[in-house]
Every structure is written in structure tokens, then in C-alpha cells.
Amino acid sequence: MSQFTPVDPVDLTAALVRCPSVTPADEGALDILHELLSDAGFTCAWADRGGIRNLFARWGAQGNTRSFGFNGHTDVVPVGDEAAWTMPPFGAQIKDGIMYGRGTTDMKSGVAAFAAAAVDFVRETPPDGSIVIAITGDEEGESIDGTLALLEYMENNGERMDVCLVGEPTCPNTMGEMIKIGRRGSMTVKFRVIGKQGHSAYPHRANNPLPPMMRLMDRLASHELDTGTDHFDQSTLAVVTVDTGNPATNVIPAECTAAVNIRFNDTHSGASLSAWIEEEVVAIREAYSVEIETLVKISGESFITPPGDLSAMVAGAVEAVTGVSPELSTTGGTSDARFVKSHCPVVEFGLVGQSMHQVDEHVRVDHIHELKTIYSRILRDYFA
């Protein structure tokens, strides 16, 4: 008979939610996990960088023949208009089987579920191998001192994961319906067209930056990047802002700024898209005799973990617990899996994500228990 009390993932989620860990603040969230994992025999270390706290934990001997990893984050986005919340955003209050609070969905419940599953697993059936848990406080922010710092720590200290599961919310509507095996790349490009200010009644004396900017935005937005690939939807480009800061109707402004966001599949790379954009900029610059400055930020390249043993094992555990056969998908935004993929094969599976980043973010309590059961099943199957 078991001699330990299983970790309640709902209680653990509530404790984490009550820490107002809006990036880059931690407010004690990682300390809670450090204590839990240390007490269960995990070797824990801090991989802090740039004012961000990051927790690395390993159960089992370093260099074991098999190492299963979990990755997640405890930082959350701001609450927005707190007056619009019907429940305290950091109260973790439960009503009618639903827990409310910032981070309940994205992704403190996921972290709580895999931490609880891992602790119970090593206490009940110590595996022949190791379990790594890597948790960051910088996923919702710039993401430069979070999982990247954890991976750097692992590289410098001889630590590794053979495979990794990221506990992000992956299911659009129904628990168990989707596993992410890859993600589209993401990049943002900012533009500044510099013309010459003048009176709108004498346009020939000015050089209006708006027509070249509008033409450039039209050329970019109307261009079909691709039609999709075997595992990815069609790439998209969205114009997200155009601005002159000009309140006067009788003044031609001196400059205009704009930005586009591109979500791209494996047809492209950040470099190839940057080269295409530069070609378009050169054409507009020459046609309108204006100066155009660009600033490119590539948040992540597209990647895929091809369907195989890892995705099949996770899908089997999900179906065994939920009765739902999950779709293998690459939809959605970016996640820290884009960094982990350079270290080892990685997939993502977690909760229904409908309320993430919203006012009154919430999670069903039974889904937290269900998620822990799925993660426990994955560990059993991996180390079987």
C-alpha cells in the first residue's frame, strides 16, 4: 500500500495562482515548486538570468540512459482591467467546479499537473532513468532569459532530456482533442518611411510618406506566401499598425510608421522572408524616392517533430484517459517548444485554452485532475 499522500494538482494550482507572477515578477511561485520537488528527491538548481528566475529540477542520476522532460512557465500576462473581473484575478476561487484566476489556464494548472504527476510517480514507482522539470518565469515576456537560459544551464552542466513535453494549453474546445507537434514561425517587421513635410494644398512641395507606405503594405498583404504544407496551414501576413501621429488635415506629415506580423510555415525561414521584404522595400524606395527604414524581429522559426514514437505515446495516453483521439496539429501561436526543439524531440499537450489571457480566465477543476492523470500515464508508458 502506498505510504505517501498524492499531490493534489488543484491545491497546487491554487497556490501558484495566488502568486501574482506577472512577467518578470515571480512572487514566490517557483519557490513553491522548488520546495515540492526538493522534498520529493529532485536535485534542484536555479538558472536565473537577466532578472528572471528559472528552476531546473532532475530526479535520478545525471546521464541516465533515459530522461523524460517537462517544460512550462509560471509567469502570466497582466490582468488588464481588474474591475472587469467578476472574481479576484489572483484569488484562485472555485465556483461551480471552476477555478478563476490569471494563469489558471496558461499555464499554472499545466505546471501543477506535471509536477504533481512527476512527484507521485518517482515516489510510487521510481523509474529506471531520470525526469527533468524545467520551469521558467519568462515565457509571456521577451522569452530571452527563460527557457533559453534553462537550456544553456543544461548544456553547461551536462544535463539533458531525451524527449520533452511542454504543458501549454493545446485543446481548442474539448479536453484531449489536440496535441501540438510543431509551431509556425513568427516574425514582426517595423517600417519607417521618411518623406518631407509640407502644406496639403501644395503637395508638390512635399514628399508624402503615406502613398509609398500604403503601396508597400498593399504589396505585402496581398502577396500569397504559400498554400500550406503537409503539416502546416497557409502562412499569413497581417498589417497590424499604420501611423503618422498627424492630427492636422492641412499638413502632409514628414514620416509614417507601420508594422506587419508574419506567421510562417516550413516553406519559409526568417531569413528568406526578410530577403523578400527587403526586395519589396527597395522597389518602393526607388519608385517614390523616399527613405525606408526596417527593423526585423524573428521570434522563432517554424519547426515540427515528425509523427512518431513520442507523439504516438502521448496520443495513446490522452485517448486512454479522455476517450478522445487527439489531432496532431501545428496551429496557434508560438511557445517555448520553439527553443526546446533544438535540444530534443518535443510535443505539447495541455488543457482547453479558450479563456487564456482573458478577463475571468478559468479552468475546470476536473480537467486539472484529468491532466495529471494523463501526464502520469505518459510517464508510466515512457518508462515501462
Number of CB atoms found within 10 A of residue 81's CB: 8
Q: Coil, strand, or helix at residue 93?
A: coil
Instruction: Confirm whether 75 is a catalytic residue.
Output: yes
Burial class of 273 by CB neighbour count within 10 A (0 to 12, 13 to 18, 19+): buried
CB 135 within 8 A of CB 42: no
State how far the Cα of 354 lies from the Cα of 335, in Å rounded to an integer: 16
Number of CB atoms found within 10 A of residue 17's CB: 29
- Where helices occur in 244-364 by DSSP H, the ranges are 270-288, 309-322, 337-340
The single residue of 26, 120, 139, 266 carrying the catalytic annotation is 139
Burial class of 147 by CB neighbour count within 10 A (0 to 12, 13 to 18, 19+): buried
| Rg of the chain in Å (alpha carbons) | 24
- Residue with the three cell numbers 508574419: 262
State how far the Cα of 344 lies from the Cα of 328, in Å rounded to an integer: 18
**Where is 303: in which H helix or E strand?**
strand 303-304
State how far the Cα of 372 lies from the Cα of 118, in Å rounded to an integer: 9
User: What are φ and ψ of residue 323, in 5° steps?
Assistant: 80, 5
Instruction: Confirm whether 11 is a catalytic residue.
Output: no
Question: Strand locations in 109-254, DSSP E?
Answer: 130-136, 163-166, 178-180, 182-183, 185-194, 198-199, 236-243, 251-252
State how far the Cα of 345 lies from the Cα of 308, in Å rounded to an integer: 10
The single residue of 75, 120, 138, 140 carrying the catalytic annotation is 75
Active site residues per annotation: 75, 139
